[in-house]
Structure formats: structure tokens, C-alpha cells
Structure 1
Amino acid sequence: MQIKKIITRILLFSLTLYFVACKSDRQKSITISGAFALYPLGVKWTEQYKKLHPDARFDLSAGGAGKGLTDVLTGAADLAMFSRALTPSEQQKGIVLFAVAKDAVLPTFSAKNPLADLIHREGLTHDQLKNIYLSGKSITWGSVLDTIVNNNISVYTRSDAAGAADTWAAYFGGKQDNIKGTGIYGDPGLADAVTKDASGVGFNNVAFVYDISTGKKRPGIEVIPIDQNNNRIIDRQENFYDNADSVLAAIADGRYPSPPARDLYFLTKGKPTDPGVIAFLKWILTDGQQYVKAAGYVPLPAEKIQGQLDQLK
């Protein structure tokens, strides 16, 4: 009789451990870290996925593409949001990239700038922008717009390791470290710094320049139009910065240059093996694509999506 009681207790204890383990597996969080560029879409995707899978748990944070990469490599995150190409040394670390959407980095200036109308009308050329952001020289607004205004342009850049900064610098053949300016942490901080400085310029991802719910530019920030044909006027085909929809259309059809238009990624260390991570990535690349445009991004073409799905097989 005593032996039966002992066996019964062992069985009950084992069953308890089994159900606790099942519950733990079911509620295991997927940790996602990285680029501010992808963060708003990451929030949208996790919210929608949890509606379909109530047991799914996510720990999502933005801290820059560099932090996301480091977190994945050290095991602190399952997925990284990433917003630039890998360097040759990073390619040797067994990283697997999954392109999930597309957006662009936009050059910005303050709505307080007294020359705002002239900037919108004439824009700045590639070479002028390169000189402003990379030369480190004191440059006045008057010298680039042929006016008598002698206010020096204040350049703001990212202080964190950022895909946006790397992508913007790549437009001029450089890297993030080549941008000369005051370092500000994060996309929101950089937008805020430029907004407050009437002489300031910076750069931001689309979702931090435009309010995606309204399509309008966020209060206080403006986009520097790029004069791509160097004729010192923003022609009709170059004039697409008024609202989010027109910018996204220009990114999609190539009217906005690449870089600073670019693919956005989730990345893993090696091919993912966690069933929860694989299921989430598959959903992002299939049903989850319906949320891309509404969140302020450009969907990827079907053939590119299929290539990403093939990596999960």
C-alpha cells in the first residue's frame, strides 16, 4: 500500500512538471532588439500576431541596428531589427538576413528655418549635401542657397550605431563615422534636435518624419528635397515629399535614390531553429505583409519574399 502511494506521488509530481514545462514553452518570449527604422512595423507585427496566437510573447525594444546585432550575437535576443548591409567582417559571423520591408532615410531640416520656402523650391544637390554632412567645414545657408543669410548650418547625426546613419553616409560613399556633426541618440532624439534648431539639419527614417496615421509631416520637421538633376530647382518628378504616400511611392518606383532607400531586415545568428521564431518569421513574410504599407513602409516584391521564405526551409 505504501509503495502505491509513493508511485502515485511520483506520477503526480511528474505530471505537474510536464504541465509547467508545457506552459513555460508556450509562453516563452521572443526577444527582438535593434533598429529604430523597423521598430514601428515591429510593434504592428507583434500586436497582430498576438491576436492570432494569444500565447505568443514578445520582448521588443529599439536601440539601434548595432545594438540589435550585438544582442543576437551574444544570445541576448532571438531576432535583431537591422537596417543596413552587413560589413565583410559581420558576414563571417554566421548571420542570416531576412529582408522584410523597405524604406528610406530622408535628409531633414527645421520648419523654423526662415529659408524653408527656398529650400523646398530649390532643394540641395548630392554634392551640396555631401559637403554639408561629411566635410566638417562651417557652411552657411546663404552659400548653398545663394542668399545673403550667413547662419552656419548645424549638422546633427546619430550617436548610437545606426543603420540610418550608415545608409545616409553610403549615399556619399561613406560610413557613419564620416558624418561630422553633433551626435544624438535614436531616431526620435535626432528629429527633436533638428526641429528645435532653426539652422539644423539631420536625417531620419520615414516613420519618424511622417505621422503615418495622417500621412502628414510631423510638426516642426521638414524634408530637404534632393535636386537629382542638378538644375537648382525641384522639378515635378523630384517633388514627392509632401506626404508619406507620395514618398513611399517614390521609394517603390525608384525615383528616390538607393541608397538612401534600402531594405530592412530581421536577422538571426545562424539559421533559426526555434519553432516560435520560425513561425513568426513565416507569418511576417506571408500574411504579415498586409500591414507593411499601412505602417509606413514599402512591401517587397513577391519574388524577393519567396527568396526569404526559402531560407527558412
Structure 2
Amino acid sequence: MRHRRHWIKHSISVLFIVALLGGLVGCGGGGDAQPAGAEGGVEGTITISGAWALYPLMVRWGEEFQKVYPDVRLDISAGGAGKGLADALAGAVDIGMVSREISPEEEAKGAFWTAVVKDAVFPTISAANPVWDDLQQKGFSREVFQGIFISGEITTWGQAIGRPEVSDPIHVFTRSDACGAAETWAKYLGAQQEDLLGIAVYGDPGLLDAVIKDPLAIGFNNLNYAYDVDTGLPVEGARVAPIDANDNGQADADEIYLTKEQAVNAVATNKYPSPPARDLNLVTRGQPDGLTAAFISWILTDGQAFVDEAGYIALPAERLATEADKLGD
């Protein structure tokens, strides 16, 4: 019976997508849709901008969607969650990728959001950090992170690990662009992005590069930028620092993220704090329709098949169904 309910739910989702796409034949629709071509295929362009966190998976989704609908073009660019949200609300793009919660004020401006997947922000340091061995044993507590990123009371690596004889200064890096990673990291520390201390660097790749080049640096990166997509290990030259989530004064085995698999498992089992774990959202100006709605609906159904292999964490089936229902209201 449970299998039958799953089949019925999947069939309804497929029919919903077909109905949306069918409605584009000979008429307009969200996503700059055009009339069907000679072979009855769907044509149109979907424009997307926003969060670095969601960009790699969105590119994959776009590739897979085009295999099913080859006459659909997807124009995808990264630039931070703030840009994605602003672009969507301004009508500059069809979909904004936003890697943080949508505020009531943003909803009042017309932001319609759909949660599609989950990931997390991780603290990153250089592989050449002089106290790496200590950090693997002790980890960072939330209080220590607050002293580094918010109050500025912790300024040396010795203070961070409880060894006053170590005087090496901590070089703090943050993001210069309005982004979900910084907002989520700040929220974990009880603050907002503008409260974060440090040298501001643009984008996920830029921040990680700055950390790698400086043995005394600390920053934060989205899951799929902290780890190498091919090896599943931290990007060469970087380390993902342990978080002492249970505040017991040491880094337990399930708080050490030497591989991407360990990090993903920690987020999936809720052993990693939330925030900095969070849902990733797609935002449109008002409820989407036409090609845009069909693409988002596809992401919530068939598109979920690519989540695990892309290194993200799937939302529970019940949550995906709830998000899909929002599109059909």
C-alpha cells in the first residue's frame, strides 16, 4: 500500500509537469516560453542567478532537464544569494537561487520560495595551519567561533586551542558579497552577515583561495566548495575544521569531517548544527507558472535523482511533497 501511494504521488507529479508544459504549446508562459516547434517539443529560456552553494547542482539539473526537453535553454549564473533574490524580485531572472531563509519582508515584496535540497556551511582553514593537530583533538566550540568572527576577543591560534604559548595571529576572512553562506554562518553565531569580522573576499572560490594561501587564515565555505568533487577530500591546500557541537571540550569522531562523505552524513543525520546546515531555496517573483513552474516541479521529483551524486543532502520525501503542493495551489 505504501508503494502504491508513492507511485500515485509520483504519477500526479509527472502529470502536473506534463500539464504545465502542454500549456506552453501555442501560448506564452513563465520562463520566456515560446510555441512548440514542428515536432511538438517545448521551447523557451529559463534564466537563473544567485547562490554559489546551489550553482553546481543547478548546472547539473539544467543539463539533465535539457536531455528531456532539448529545445529549452537555461541561462545559469552564480553571484551570491543576495543577487539571486534581487534579480528575481526585479524580474531580471526567472529564478533566484537563495541559500538562506526568506524573510517575511522579502515575502511581502513578492518572493515566492521553494526549498529543493539541503547542504551546510563549514569552517575552513589552511592545510598548513600550525595547530592543526590540536584542532583535530579539540575542535572549535561555538563560543570560540564567536570570539573569532563576532567580538574579536580571540585573536591568536593559541587562544583558540587553549595554548597561550602559541602567539600566531588568526587571520579572519569573510565574504564581500551578500550571500547565504555568510548569513547562515553569522546566524549560527547569533549575528548577521554585516557583524562578521575579517577581510572580505568575493565568492566561495575566492574565499577558499584566500584561506589556502594563508597558513594562519580561517574562513567558511559551502559544502561543495570545501571538498573536491572528484576525490571527496578537502580541496587541496585546505582543511575543514571540526566543530565541537556537543560542547564537551573535544572533537568526537562524528565531529571530524576529513571526507565529504563524513560531512554529508553529519548533515543528513542532524549531528551537524543547523544552522550552519540549511535548506537551499529557489525564489520567483510571485507563484511561478509555465516553463518555470514545470522546471521547479521537475527538480522536486525527477531531479532529486541527481542530488546524492552531486554531493548534496536530499530533503525528506514528505517535505518535497509539501513544496510540490505549493506549486499547485
Provide runs of 4+ in structure 1 moved above 4 Å. Answer: 20-23
The alignment partner of 1:311 has SS state of helix
Give the counterpart letter for 1:243 in structure 2.
T
| 1:70 alignment partner in structure 2 | 86
Q: 1:52 is matched with which residue: 41, 63, 68?
A: 68
Pairwise CA distance, 1:236: 2.3
| 1:210 alignment partner in structure 2 | 227
Work out the percentage of aligned pairs sharing the same amino acid.
48
The alignment partner of 1:57 has SS state of strand
| 2:169 alignment partner in structure 1 | 152
| 1:281 alignment partner in structure 2 | 296
Name which one, 1 or 2, has greater alpha-carbon Rg.
Answer: 1
Give the counterpart letter for 2:143 in structure 1.
D
Instruction: Label 1:138 to 1:257 Cα distance change in 2 as closer, same or farther (>3 A).
Output: closer
| 2:254 alignment partner in structure 1 | 237
Matched, 1:166 2:183: yes
TM-score by length of 2: 0.85
Query: Is the 8 Å Cα contact of residues 112 and 285 (structure 2) preserved in structure 1?
Result: yes
Q: Which runs of 5+ in 2 are unaligned?
A: 1-33
TM-score by length of 1: 0.90
The alignment partner of 1:36 has SS state of coil
| 1:3 alignment partner in structure 2 | none
Instruction: Label 1:235 to 1:74 Cα distance change in 2 as closer, same or farther (>3 A).
Output: same
Q: 1:290 is matched with which residue: 289, 297, 305?
A: 305
Residues 23-102 of structure 1 mapped to structure 2, 5 A cutoff: 26-102=42-118
Q: Distance in 2 between matches of 1:55 and 1:31?
A: 14
Instruction: Label 1:138 to 1:131 Cα distance change in 2 as closer, same or farther (>3 A).
Output: closer
Query: Could you say what the CA RMSD is over the residues aligned between the two structures, in angstroms?
Result: 1.7
| 1:228 alignment partner in structure 2 | 245
* Deviation by residue 1:188-216 (Cα, 9 ceiling, x = unmatched): 00000011111100000000011123211
Q: Distance in 2 between matches of 1:138 and 1:242?
A: 25
Matched, 1:306 2:317: no
Q: Distance in 1 between matches of 2:179 and 2:150?
A: 16
Q: Distance in 2 between matches of 1:100 and 1:229?
A: 28
Pairwise CA distance, 1:136: 3.1
| 2:124 alignment partner in structure 1 | 108
Pairwise CA distance, 1:36: 0.2
| 1:121 alignment partner in structure 2 | 137
Q: Distance in 2 between matches of 1:286 and 1:212?
A: 24
After TM superposition, the structure 1 stretch with the greater mean CA deviation from structure 2, 205-214 or 161-170, is 205-214
Give the counterpart letter for 1:238 in structure 2.
E
| 1:175 alignment partner in structure 2 | 192
| 1:256 alignment partner in structure 2 | 272
Give the counterpart letter for 2:253 in structure 1.
R
* Deviation by residue 1:71-120 (Cα, 9 ceiling, x = unmatched): 11111100011111122321211211111000000011111112111111
- Aligned pair count? 292
* Deviation by residue 1:226-264 (Cα, 9 ceiling, x = unmatched): 11233322122323x011111111101110010000000
Pairwise CA distance, 1:138: 5.8
